[in-house]
Amino acid sequence: MAEMGVGIEDVVELEQQQPYRTGYHFQPPNNWMNDPNGPMYYKGVYHLFYQYNPRGPIWGNIAWAHSISYNLIDWDHVDIALSPTDPELDINGCFSGSTTLLQDDKLAILYTGKNCRNHQVQNLATPVNLSDPFLREWTKSSLNHMTPNDIDPTKFRDPTTAWLGPDNMWRTAIGAKMVTGKWVPLLYTSSDFKHWTRSTKTPFGLLLENNELVLECVDFFPVGINSSDGDNRYSNKDQYKNKFALKVSFQHNERECYVLGQYSPEKEEFKAESSDFNFRIDYGKFYASKSFYDPEKKRRVIWGWIMESESRADDIKKGWSGLMSFPRTIVLSKSGKQLVQWPIKEIEKLRGEEVSVHNKELYFGSIFEISGITPSQADVEVSFQIDVDELREAEPMDPSWVDPQVLCDEKNASVKGIFGPFGLKVLASEDLSEQTSIFFRIFKINDNEYKVVIGSDQSRSSLRDGLNKTTYGAFLDLDPRLEKITLRTLIDHSIVESFGGEGRSCITARVYPKLAINKAAHLYAFNYGTKSVKIFNLKAWSVNNAQFVTRREERNH
């Protein structure tokens, strides 16, 4: 099959018939996709594997699809890398896992398969031809079964990217449900990456010893305040001087949670800074994230699966379901307390002409339209300034407001306050009957301490019925007396990714407006607080379409 790009006529038709399909977020041409698996950079090419149903737009027949890129923006859909074919390994599905760069530039995939007994087993695959820049073909090995022993064999999944300790032993962590009913990440080791043994030590297990929630998609990686500190390749022996992040996905509430700590491979010990997974990678529609180290740009990059909020019937009608978040760099905050994420710099190559606003006062009830860009496909950066002398008049923080999502639901973008709500209304109709609001509020704990909350209000995002219109919220580690309140928002038809406080809290929303689509969408700044706020600086750009190309026709599986 010849190379097939998306032409102008195709784009126009998609916009008319598929208003929720995105322009610069990765998604395959059709069908179901979920978890990112094994993202990596290898010999000049970025590779992204992901969970995929080659037969339709609903979950099932799960394989590993494979796409490549030279810039993490434009993608070529290559082929299916792993299909469910072997009764003992994966006949009932090739599920999530990781890629690892081994010595001598060799590669390996570790993935979970569901065999003919519906047991979840860990499998190994390697490239057939390392000289093929697209790495199109992979072969499976039967040498690396990891014996469950005291594990529920139907609940044992998602091996992490492996790392090599100073003892030249490989390590990987896998989520498992013990026969006791508890879920923990177990550690397995290997000297040759083929034969694996469960470690007698459980460096992560103590954190979750009372956990009965389904735990999956574990990720474990070093972090520092510089992107280059995220290097966990075996050649970097200084990696253990950094902090490490242990990330887990909790299936019951679709949350991505993490804890920071110090890791010692000599002692096989992870000293977490907290006994609770208080921080989240993203506080919205974002799940099963996976990170990798990019040696070309010396940075750690993370992706997450953005699932649909429509019905299964809607997915069947449109012929696809699910897509990826925009790639983000992930580092340690300067305070060392949490992780910080930011869209990768490559998005700038897609930006159109810039519009800007400076020193614009937003008084009580103000709504200000930002024109001159394409609001349905945009990148917006804004910083808000407040009068510090008036802060002591802020609304008192109620001690019962411990859950920011509940707080933002009760005090959503329509509920007037003192300092806030203020922020952006995106994917809004001209009459504001449809709008998705990303907003801030400031509360007073005492005269010297304040709490900032960021919310993403989908309650009025669409006039359509039967949609999930959850309002999300997060506390922001920011002192409004010392710094401006900043917001970066990526808008892409049905996705709104927001980064508050320079990426200290991130919220992804999935919305399906009925009126505010394509050229009928509008973008506003607003303030419904009784105290005025100032747009200190706002920059916004239209974002052009990324290029998505199909290189090879998918084989009939």
CA 63/CA 322 separation, integer angstroms: 15
| C-alpha closest to that of 105 among 187, 165, 45, 35 | 45
Three-state SS for 115?
coil
> What's the one-letter identity of residue 356?
S
DSSP classification of residue 10:
H
Three-state SS for 135?
coil
Cβ density class 293-328: b for 16+ within 10 Å, e for less: bbbebebbbbbbbbbbbbeeebbeebebbbbbbbbb
Residue-wise DSSP of 268-291: TEEEES-SS--EES-SSS-EEEEE
CA 484/CA 501 separation, integer angstroms: 8
CA 8/CA 43 separation, integer angstroms: 32
Distances in whole angstroms, Cα of residue 128 to Cα of each of 46, 89, 135, 424, 441: 18, 18, 8, 50, 55
CA dihedral sign, ordered 344, 349, 350, 353 = positive
> What's the one-letter identity of residue 535?
I
| C-alpha closest to that of 202 among 158, 168, 246, 145 | 246
**Of 35, 76, 315, 457, catalytic:** 35
Q: Write down how long the chain is.
A: 557
Contacting residues for 542 by C-beta, under 8 A, at least 6 apart: 351, 352, 353, 373, 374, 377, 378
Contacting residues for 216 by C-beta, under 8 A, at least 6 apart: 96, 157, 158, 175, 248, 249, 251, 288
**What is the C-alpha end-to-end distance of the chain, expressed in Å?**
17
| Residue 35 a catalytic site member | yes
| C-alpha closest to that of 244 among 171, 175, 192, 193 | 171
Residues annotated as catalytic are: 35
